[in-house]
């Protein structure tokens, strides 16, 4: 029949004289249509089929596959967009990624965590914010280093009072607005330890072994997992 891609007949169901016809027109993306044939006429049916139709099964499998492919493409596009925006933000200085090197903020984030820092041009600074800043001695003659501490007082005019969450006393010197590098808006635990040279070397060796040995190595790993 022109335009018909699949046809399926069923034998009489349940001992009755009814025979079912399943027709799919226009390819695998088209929904199948079901017809009930009795002794007198052929009727299109909207109720569930009383038998397992292979045409309907293939259509449902095709529908799930198309959905999964569309979902993958959508997620891939979103991922590319997010990565592109993050890269642009990092290149322009709007976003910085920094590793925590001390325990002064322990309990909030730990040594080795990766923190994301947004430029103060885009995020407001207020009491309670965790900021990254250039920290000077009291007469501002010497830059001690970059700190990541919480604002516990002060203001933009006279300077911010800061303190590490794990420290017992506040920082001695006020943080001026021009000293603020950015505001911490999120962090990922332990990333700093994961990308240590020794850990990266171990991962690289595993990848090289899998590439060299190929399917044999993957089959060996699967066997080890199944046998546990």
How many domains does the chain divide into? 3
Residue 20 within any structural domain of the chain: yes
Predicted confidence (pLDDT) per residue in 80-109, tens digit: 877 787 777 777 778 888 889 899 999 998
Domain endpoint, select from 86, 120, 137:
86
User: Does 218 fall in a domain?
Assistant: yes
29 and 79 in a common domain? yes
For the purposes of burial, counting CB atoms within 10 Å of the CB of 108, is it exposed (0-12), middle (13-18) or buried (19 or more)?
middle
Task: For residues 74 and 39, give the distance between their C-alpha atoms in angstroms, rounded to a whole number.
Answer: 50
Q: Is residue 8 located within the same domain as residue 70?
A: yes
Residues 171 and 214 in one domain: no
- Would residue 64 count as lying in a domain? yes
pLDDT at 153: 95
Segment (H or E) for 213: helix 197-213
Answer yes or no: is 30 within a domain.
yes
Residue (of 13, 54, 18, 48) closest to 34 by Cα position: 48
Mean pLDDT within 166-194: 89
Asked if the structure places residue 210 within a domain, the reply is yes
The verdict on residue 228 lying in a domain is: no
Domain-embedded: residue 145: yes
- In a shared domain, residues 142 and 176: yes
Same domain? For 50 and 21 the reply is yes
Query: Is pLDDT of 210 > 60?
Result: yes
Q: pLDDT tens digits for 14-47? A: 555 667 767 776 666 677 777 777 666 666 666 6
User: Is the same domain home to 168 and 122?
Assistant: yes
The residue among 200, 152, 145 whose CA lies nearest residue 174 is 152
> pLDDT, tens digit, for every residue of 127-162?
999 999 999 988 888 999 999 999 999 999 999 999
pTM: 0.54
Residue 92 included in any domain:
no
pLDDT (0 to 100) of residue 44? 67
Same domain, 130 and 206: no
159 token code pair: 């300077």
CATH number of 173's domain: 2.10.109.10
For the chain, how are helix, strand and coil distributed in percent, rounded to 5? 35, 30, 40
Q: Across 15-174, where does the E strand assignment appear?
A: 19-25, 33-37, 42-45, 95-99, 114-118, 130-136, 143-155, 159-163
Note whether 123 and 70 are same-domain residues: no
Q: What angle do CA 100, 163, 117 make, to 5 degrees?
A: 40
105 and 181 part of one domain: yes
Q: Which domain does 80 fall in, by range?
A: 4-86
């Amino acid at each position: 029949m022109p335009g018909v891609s699949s046809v399926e007949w069923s034998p009489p169901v349940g001992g009755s004289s009814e025979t079912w016809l399943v027709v799919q027109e226009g390819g695998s993306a088209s929904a199948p249509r079901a017809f009930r044939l009795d002794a007198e006429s052929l009727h299109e049916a909207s109720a569930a089929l009383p038998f397992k139709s292979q045409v309907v099964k293939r259509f449902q499998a095709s529908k799930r596959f198309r959905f999964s492919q569309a979902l993958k493409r959508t997620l891939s596009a979103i991922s590319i967009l997010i990565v592109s925006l993050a890269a642009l933000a990092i290149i322009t200085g709007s976003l910085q990624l920094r590793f925590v090197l001390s325990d002064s903020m322990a309990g909030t984030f730990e040594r080795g965590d990766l923190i994301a820092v947004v430029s103060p041009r885009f995020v407001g600074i207020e009491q309670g914010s965790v900021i990254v800043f250039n920290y000077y001695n009291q007469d501002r003659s010497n830059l001690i280093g970059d700190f990541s501490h919480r604002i516990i007082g002060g203001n933009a005019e006279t300077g911010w009072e800061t303190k590490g969450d794990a420290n017992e006393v506040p920082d001695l010197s006020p943080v001026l607005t021009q000293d603020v590098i950015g505001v911490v808006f999120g962090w990922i635990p332990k990333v700093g330890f994961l990308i240590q040279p020794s850990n990266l070397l171990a991962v690289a060796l595993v990848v090289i072994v899998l590439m060299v040995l190929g399917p044999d190595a993957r089959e060996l790993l699967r066997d080890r997992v199944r046998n546990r």
